[in-house]
Each structure stands twice: as C-alpha cells, then as structure tokens.
Amino acid sequence: MSRKVKLIGRQLKKQVDSIKKADIIIGIPSYNNSDTIHHVVNAISAGIIKYFPDYTTVVVNSDGGSTDGTPRIVMDAAIDDLETIMVEHPIYTIHKISTPYRGVPGKGSAFRTIFKIANMLEAKAIAVVDSDLRSITPEWIELLVAPVLHKSFDFVAPRYQRHKYDGTITNSVVYPVTNALYGSGVRQPIGGEFGFSGALAAHFLTVGEFDTDIARFGIDIWMTTTALATGCKICQVFLGAKIHDPKDPGSDLSSMLVQVVGSLFYLMEKYEHIWWDRTETKRVPEFGFRFQVGVEPVNVNLERLVQGFRQGVDSLGPVWKTILDPRSLDQLSEMSRSDISQFSFPAELWVKVIYDFALGFHHRVMHPDHLVRALTPLYLGRTAGFINQIQDSDPDEVERVIEELCVEFVRQKPYLMSRWRRPRP
C-alpha cells in the first residue's frame, strides 16, 4: 500500500476518486461540535450556491473522533429554502466528505488531511473555517475564496472585530512579533479562517512538521508564517465579528499558549534568514466592507490573572533567572506587590521578556516545552495589565495601544538580533 493511501485511508480514497476533480475545497476541522456544525455547513453551502454556482466544490469535514454525531450532522445538513439566497436556482455541484483524520490529535492534523484531499482533487482554491462559529455567513466564503480564485492571491488571512478582551495571545504576542520580524501587517495571524491556493496547499504538505505542536494549535501561525516567508501574494479580508465560544483569557490556556508560542519560536529559527534583514512593514491589501458590529462580551477574572502572575514570581524565580535579564526580574518582583486595581505591565518590559524567552528557546537553556510553559504566569500578568489599561477604552483606542506595542517590538528588534547569534555565557 502506498503512503498516500495509508495517510487518507482506502474508504476516503474511493470517495476522492469518485469526485475526480474539484475547483474549490472548503475544509472544516471538528471535534464534538454538534451544537454549531449545522449552521457552519449551511452557511458554507449558501455561500457556494450564491457566489460560486458554476464551480465544483467539495466540503471536507476532517473530524477528530467526535462522539456527539458531528460527522453525521455534516453529511445530513441541507438548506431548506434556496429562494432565501437566490432569485434563480443555479445548476451547482457540492460534494461532501466527512472523514476522521490520522496523526497527532489536533487541528493541524485535521488540516493536513484537508491539504491532501485538495491536492488529490487539484483544487484551485481552498478555505478553512472553524467548526464552532456562530457568526459565519455566506459572505465569508466569497471573501475567503474569491481573492484566490479571481485575483491570484496565494493566501487570505482574516480580520475580525473582536471584544477588546478577546484574542489576547494574538494581541500581545503573535501579531506584534510577526509584524516586527517579517514586516507584515497581517492583523490576525492565528485567526482560524483562511483562504489559500492549491499550489500553497501542496507546498504546505512538502514542508509540514506534522509531528510537532504544529499538528495541534500551532497550525495557524505556521501557515501564516510559511506564506510570509516564501514570498506569497497575501491579502486580508474583513469578516465582521467572530463569535464562537469565548473563554476567559486566564483559564484553560496553558496548552494553547505553549503550542502557539512554541511554534512561533520554532519558526523564528527556521526562517532566520528571512526576518534578519527585514526592516520595513509592508501594507497588506484588505478586502471586505468595514463596519461596526456588536461582539459578545468576554468575562475576565482580573484577580485570578494577577494571582497567577504572583504565584509565578514566587515559584519560578530560579527558572526565570536562566532566561531573563536581572533587571527584568527586579521589575517583576516589584510589580507582584502592586494592588490589583493598579496593576500594570509596561510594554517595554513585556517586549524584552518575549525576546528573552525567544533567545532562551533558541539557545536551548532548557527543554523548549518547559521554557515556554514558564512564560504562562508572565502572560497572565501582561493580560491583567492590558485589561487595566484599556478597560475604559473604545475599540479605536484599544487598537492604538496594540499598535504602540508593535512599535516597541520593532524598536527592540536590535536587542534580539544582537544576542541571537551570540552563544549564551
């Protein structure tokens, strides 16, 4: 049996062979999403019928072993009233495939199956969307696919309007670091919804590290960084609000933080030759009508965030000492004695912390997983300080604070570079 058949399974190969060829693939990774998956599939189907009626399209559900009937819901979902979206009924072809993926459990492994199916079907354009979306509309499909299909873009990143407490890993780490290193204005590098060309999907398969954290939560930043580093033609599209199942930034984040930031640091090593000489940020073309939209509130337990930071100061001092500058340690110790309502985490210190952790990762001062996990209390502290700083701010003011952080990451990039190629003492 060939490796190709082993990867996707004989049953799936029969389904793919029966379709033969497709123009568009819409991929949905899932795991126990029975509450939302019906709406997601219906929105996708409506988008295909409305905007791409003359193209052969395959909806691929790559499932992680759901026990709540998610795959069956995908296959049974249907739009009851086509007249609500079309004046005339077109002739269209939409196929569906729902298959368990193979490999390390996680979103990246699910995407790998989607890449493989797209490659086998010689798809021109692929889009992937999360399975827990409540705000997806048919227009999302047009926005994610059309730039690839009609304007020759290789990679389409999303841009959302989110609650000011949502997306803190993006706002405090991933966006400003990606911006500083690669000169990219991609605002949501780990947004979850992406469009890309068939050629880029094939490239993803050839360079994928699918036995690492990229197979889990690291896939989004890996895709974006790969596109940035390989000279792809990139745009971003405004999708409005992203409403899914929001989480308190202080809860259930350690694994995600480790996988996302660990992947970010890993990619810094892999693409050192790309970011080393990049000094300017290039404008990324943006499509989609910008409008103000309501977002669901995100509840934050500020006391728990600060307490998590304080516990880190008390227990991780010896670990941080091997990573951080002594002056940073002194500042962190002083901050831990602040009242919760007055707690702040200066941007200048935060940037130095992130760069020192990136340097510690690069120079292997300890096991990479242990190092990145030791960042968690500091991330909680930065999030608490950010919330105190912007709790009375409107969306435009919040965005200015984030952009100021980006400027600080750029300003301190020489600090990172001066220590990157120098062996640690």
Residue-wise pLDDT tens digits, 319-365: 999 999 999 999 999 999 999 999 999 999 999 999 999 999 999 99
Q: pLDDT exceeding 70 applies to what percent of the chain?
A: 92
Which pLDDT value is given to residue 301?
92
| 245 vs 403, residue with greater confidence | 403
Report residue 204 as tokens.
Answer: 């993803």
**What is the per-residue DSSP string for 200-248?**
HHHHHHHH--TTSGGGTTTHHHHHHHHHHHTT--EEEEEEEE--S----
Residue 333 host element (H or E): helix 326-335
**Is-contact 298 390, C-beta < 8 A?**
no
Structural Rg of the chain based on CA atoms: 22
Return d(Cα 416, Cα 352) in angstroms, integer: 8
Q: Which distant-in-sequence residues (6+ apart) come within 8 Å of 87 by Cβ?
A: none
Domain ranges of the chain: 3-287, 302-420
Orientation angle between helical segments 376-390 and 326-335, nearest 10 degrees: 60
CATH fold group of domain 3-287:
Spore Coat Polysaccharide Biosynthesis Protein SpsA; Chain A (3.90.550)
Return d(Cα 377, Cα 305) in angstroms, integer: 8
* 122 Ramachandran zone, left/alpha/beta (phi>0; psi -120 to 50): left
C-alpha distances (whole Å) from 36 to each of 31, 69, 178, 243 are: 11, 12, 31, 11
| 10 vs 79, residue with greater confidence | 10
Which pLDDT value is given to residue 159?
95
- Summarised one tens digit per residue, pLDDT across range 214-267 is 877 789 999 999 999 999 999 999 999 888 765 545 555 677 888 899 999 999
Return d(Cα 244, Cα 249) in angstroms, integer: 14
Mean pLDDT score of the chain, rounded to an integer? Answer: 89
pTM of the model: 0.91
Report residue 284 as tokens.
Answer: 């990324």
- Summarised one tens digit per residue, pLDDT across range 33-86 is 999 999 999 999 999 999 999 999 999 999 988 999 999 999 988 765 444 444
Return d(Cα 177, Cα 207) in angstroms, integer: 22
DSSP bridge pairs for 60: 27, 97
